[in-house]
Chain A
């Protein structure tokens, strides 16, 4: 993260000076006052300037947009990139024709792109300021969630009916969570995960 120190007669002056040096606006930086200046006596003796440190905030939205537009261009895919930087996550939505190629088998390509995008966005971040990134297109994430919930309920019914546990195919943590959550309050079955990543899978069993 880029940061500089600047001096000025007052704190405000110092901030102004720093912004000029960085060439950015006030809302793009974090200000830390290092020294509160003093006017001294008669403005001459003992006068000290104010000192501030300005740190440029990470502009996640433009990093994400830049990376995605470069990658999509090289893939030969034309689409619009909508970015929304909210408190809990950076949401990136791709709008265009033929998005199927970007989704891939069971969202495999979309997940890969999302993973790369989150690495790029969080590149300069330390672990404690990790920004979650969600990449979506044609409302795929929502539709997939609905599909998984339907699947979970159908399988739970089969488990109960045939008194036999069912192992699902390997899924990523996010999708497994949806299955677990969907069956959490089901009185007849319990769910657990088994195996090692990336082949970890959910097992649905009859409640004893």
Chain B
């Protein structure tokens, strides 16, 4: 799941090297923290969070396949 978010984030930003993804596994759900360069924040959030929403939707679909719940946080 971590890798999926990394692939998507790196394809969207200008500084792919600054992309950091951390996975915190909980009992029922996984929290994934996505960190990008400050100037790339807009590239992963988008107008009214449209990009962030799309990323979450794709991740949710992948997680459903593995019967897991994933929360994506952009920090």
Residues of A within 8 A of B (CB): 67, 70-71, 74-77, 101-102, 104, 108-109, 111-113, 115-116, 119-120, 123, 197
- Give chain B residues whose Cβ lies under 8 Å from the Cβ of A75: 4, 58, 61-62, 65
Q: Which one, B4, B7, B57, contacts A104 given CB within 8 A?
A: B57
Prevailing SS type, chain A contact patch: helix
Q: Which residue of the partner chain A has the closest CB to B62?
A: A75
Write the B40-51 contact mask toward A (1 if CB under 8 angstroms, else 0).
Answer: 000000001011
Residues of B within 8 A of A (CB): 3-4, 7-8, 11-12, 48, 50-51, 53-55, 57-58, 60-62, 64-66
Asked if B11 and A74 sit within 8 Å, CB to CB, the answer is: no
Asked if B65 and A120 sit within 8 Å, CB to CB, the answer is: no
A144, B66: Cα distance in complex, Å: 27
Q: Please name the 4 residue pairs, one residue from A and one from B, whose CB atoms are nearest each other, closest first.
A: A112-B57, A74-B4, A112-B54, A75-B62
- Give chain A residues whose Cβ lies under 8 Å from the Cβ of B4: 71, 74-75
Q: Which one, A104, A116, A120, contacts B61 given CB within 8 A?
A: A104
A74, B7: Cα distance in complex, Å: 8
Min C-beta distance of B50 to chain A, whole Å: 7
Asked if A116 and B12 sit within 8 Å, CB to CB, the answer is: yes
Asked if B11 and A120 sit within 8 Å, CB to CB, the answer is: yes
- Give chain A residues whose Cβ lies under 8 Å from the Cβ of B3: 74
A184, B34: Cα distance in complex, Å: 45
Min C-beta distance of B27 to chain A, whole Å: 22
- Give chain B residues whose Cβ lies under 8 Å from the Cβ of A101: 61, 64-65
Min C-beta distance of B42 to chain A, whole Å: 12
- Give chain B residues whose Cβ lies under 8 Å from the Cβ of A102: 61
Can you list 16 A-B contacts (CB < 8 A)? A67-B11, A71-B8, A75-B4, A76-B66, A101-B61, A101-B64, A101-B65, A104-B57, A108-B57, A109-B60, A112-B57, A112-B58, A113-B58, A116-B12, A116-B58, A119-B51
Min C-beta distance of B64 to chain A, whole Å: 7
A71, B7: Cα distance in complex, Å: 7
Asked if B62 and A112 sit within 8 Å, CB to CB, the answer is: no
